[in-house]
Amino acid sequence: MKPYDQLLRDCILINNYWASADRRFPVMNPATGDLIAEVADADTNHVVEAIGAAAVAFETWGKTTARSRSLILKKWYQLVMQHTDALASLLTAEQGKPFTEAKGEVIYGASFIEWYAEECRRTYGETIPAPVAGKRLLTIKQPVGVVAAITPWNFPVAMITRKIAPALAAGCTVVLKPAEDTPLSALALASLAIEAGIPPGVLNVLPTSDAASIGKVLCTHPVVKKISFTGSTEVGKILMEQCASTVKRLSLELGGNAPVIVFDDADIMVAVKGTLASKYRNAGQTCVCANRIFVQQKIYPDFISRYREAVAELNVGNGATENVQIGPLINEAGINKVRRLLFDATEKGAEVITGGGTHPAGGLFFEPTIITNCNDSMLLSREEIFGPVSAIYVFNDEHEVVRLANKTEYGLAAYIFTQDINRAWRVAEQLEHGMIGINEGIISHAEAPFGGMKESGFGKEGGYYGIEEYLETKYLCIGGV
């Protein structure tokens, strides 16, 4: 008996009905290689059916009061919180992150449901002073309609609630396609949503091994009014093209290449702790992970020696066991990418000072690694590493490091460590990244806008910005008053 058995669902969810399918696909535990479940594999017929169910449900859900939606979402939030341990153990089993980190993700994921349960009661329109007599100008906010959400494997709970909570709160209905590697957390969340009273058709979930075909229907179907996607920039571009045919609204939370900048005047332990938190969370598999660590010349020797000590204390192993900070990478492709980037960097002069290879814990485990002497000719200065590898660069002055930090097509998160408030302002304003951590390595909260610039995408998740993504602002002009 596993702690998550009660929440384990292996079917497609359409109209609050758990449907089977002709085909099934396996979901494996990346730490052990064990099979967790064989999940019904949605095909394009299921997508059309789910879109139809969501369209019918929108007729009523879109017209319910904000208060009644709020009450259901609050109930969902409470259920998720009550099942934190079970959800976290399922998350660890299918994704690999350590149990404490998985628990943190469940609580963080739930915070979006709570926040939007509250925020939906404040989606105010406005009255606008008219420029001529006899007219009254105002705006109202209305749900955009049927929304499709496509989410990645690295946060199998939070990337879903960050989209679905504001969408449902706004009055939209949803068709969700979770990642093939991690559909079980999505299905477990949906089972709790049903228990909370989400009506049939309001939330539909399509686990699938055929993302491209399912994605194409979602992007081109005229009934779907918006796509919200989190994933790679490469796939984001495909979806953007597909959405053009029906001029769909889009939110794209894409890849990152986060610079961390440690200035000479930083509090060294704050910088070490913040960089470590940003780099090694989820074994380095987050879009906001430190990808390039720039350290100023004077503080460099001290930073390296303390950072190395801190990295040496990270325990690698199965996330389901106690006192583990680094779990496995998600799959073979993930570990091959890390190896390829490391090989390229060392060929071009990088020096491995800690780690550098696979970990004895098993095939998908990689040692926490630090490489120094990095430069911008290396592939890892351009691509997301998505593994537990710290790439360290040295810099001389502020002007130089701002230029280097911006030398990427990505623009998601960046981090600055300095005790000079003027410098913090100056540099934060110049960085072409959507989120800036200042003396802080963990920056995302339900209350704040998460999102990127440049090829990291557009649209915000979190805060009052997040619900706007699912609302139309309609303008009314009343004449003859």
Q: Which residue has the tokens 């499709």?
A: 148
How far apart are the C-alpha atoms of 88 and 157, rounded to whole Å? Answer: 9
Nearest distance, CB of residue 67 and ligand NAP, angstroms:
30
453 binds ligand NAP (CB under 6 A): no
What residues numbered 330-389 form the site for ligand NAP, per CB under 6 A? 384
Quote the strand ranges of 319-464, DSSP E.
351-354, 369-372, 389-395, 413-417, 435-438, 457-458
Nearest distance, CB of residue 270 and ligand NAP, angstroms:
25
Pattern 218-247, ligand NAP, x by CB under 6 A: ------------xxx--x--xx--------
Nearest distance, CB of residue 341 and ligand NAP, angstroms:
14
Q: Which of 219, 243, 287, 289 is the catalytic position? A: 287
**253 is annotated as an active-site residue:** yes
Is the distance from CB of 111 to CB of 446 less than 8 angstroms? yes
Pattern 197-216, ligand NAP, x by CB under 6 A: --------------xx--x-
262 binds ligand NAP (CB under 6 A): no
Q: Would you state the structure tokens that stand for residue 405, as one six-digit string?
A: 């930090």
Nearest distance, CB of residue 349 and ligand NAP, angstroms:
27
Closer of 250 and 271 to ligand NAP (Cβ): 250
Nearest distance, CB of residue 433 and ligand NAP, angstroms:
11
Position closest to ligand NAP via CB:
215
253 binds ligand NAP (CB under 6 A): yes
Q: Which of 101, 114, 180, 253 is the catalytic position? A: 253
Contacts with ligand NAP by CB under 6 A: the residue count is 28
Cβ neighbours of residue 132 under 8 Å, at least 6 residues apart?
A: none
Closest CA to 434 of 254, 168, 271, 244: 254
278 binds ligand NAP (CB under 6 A): no
**120 is annotated as an active-site residue:** no
Pattern 154-183, ligand NAP, x by CB under 6 A: xx---x-----------------x-xxx--
In the sheet that 203-205 helps form, which strands lie side by side, from edge to edge? Answer: 17-19, 12-14, 203-205, 173-177, 146-150, 224-230, 249-253, 457-458
The 10 Å Cβ neighbour count of residue 227 is: 24
Q: What is the helix (H) or strand (E) element at residue 128, kind and residue range?
A: strand 126-128
Closer of 62 and 156 to ligand NAP (Cβ): 156
Q: What is the helix (H) or strand (E) element at residue 296, kind and residue range?
A: strand 290-296
The residue from 96, 143, 152, 317 that contacts ligand NAP (CB under 6 A) is: 152
Pattern 285-304, ligand NAP, x by CB under 6 A: --x-----------------
What are the backbone dihedrals phi and psi of residue 457, each rounded to the nearest 5 degrees, phi first?
105, -170
Q: What is the residue type of 388?
A: P
Closer of 54 and 218 to ligand NAP (Cβ): 218
| C-alpha pair distances (Å), 272 with each of 298, 353, 431 | 15, 16, 21
411 binds ligand NAP (CB under 6 A): no
151 binds ligand NAP (CB under 6 A): yes
Q: Would you state the structure tokens that stand for residue 250, as one six-digit string?
A: 């889009």
DSSP letters, 366-387, are B--EEEES--TTSGGGTS---S
Q: Which residues bind ligand NAP (CB under 6 A)?
A: 150-155, 159, 177, 179-181, 211-212, 215, 230-232, 235, 238-239, 253-256, 287, 384, 412, 452
Residues assigned a catalytic role: 253, 287
